[in-house]
Amino acid sequence: MIPGEKIFNKNILIAVDDSENARRAVSYVSQLLAGVKGFKILILHVISQPEEDYFLTSAEKENWLRKFQLKVDVMLEDYRQILIREGFDPNDIWVRSTLRYCPSLSECILAEQDKTQYSTIVVGRQGLSRSEEFLFGSISSKIVSHARNCTVWVVE
């Protein structure tokens, strides 16, 4: 080991949504690390709620959240099964969803990485054109730009 070099753990945070790019990111990790022991995986989804005034009542908002959470749970379990089929130990895979509590999705993902101290973040590349990415920025670009003390894999 090089003096002063940071020691990385084998913990990987895969940030997902229901896109094909997220599925490719999970698949990439599953194929790359299939059969390699010692890795711990957290599959994370950050739920972006509609604006507060979107719902007429708090009951309507709660109903939407409950239904959306069920869809997210199915998606996360599907991603978990991809890893298990490739040979990951089910006890080494966690799934988690959280309501967006930060100004942006990228900040929430980085905050989760900071809390968990996972050494690697994996994201799928968002399907934006160059002009859209320039105007709005992409989640993956923001994560790459602002990540500290970890490695970021962006899967095409």
The pLDDT assigned to 132 comes to: 39
The pLDDT assigned to 53 comes to: 84
Residue 55, burial from CB neighbour count under 10 angstroms (0-12, 13-18, 19+): middle
0.75 surpassed by pTM:
yes
Q: Which of these ranges, 5-9, 16-20, 97-101, 142-146, has the smallest mean pLDDT? A: 5-9
The pLDDT assigned to 135 comes to: 38
The pLDDT assigned to 100 comes to: 84
- pLDDT at residue 128 above 60? no
C-alpha 126/C-alpha 3 separation (Å) is: 37
141 versus 115: which is more confidently predicted? 115
C-alpha 73/C-alpha 69 separation (Å) is: 6
CA-CA distances (angstroms) from residue 25 to 20, 53, 79, 136? 9, 34, 10, 22
Q: What is the pLDDT of residues 86-105, one digit of tens each?
A: 999 999 999 999 998 888 88
Q: Which residue has the tokens 């059969």?
A: 35
Q: Token pair of 156, please?
A: 């095409």
The pLDDT assigned to 4 comes to: 61
C-alpha 13/C-alpha 16 separation (Å) is: 9
| Residue ranges of domains in the chain, CATH in brackets | 11-155 (3.40.50.620)
Q: What is the pLDDT of residues 34-48, one digit of tens each?
A: 889 999 999 999 998
Confidence grade of residue 131 (pLDDT, cut at 50, 70, 90): very low
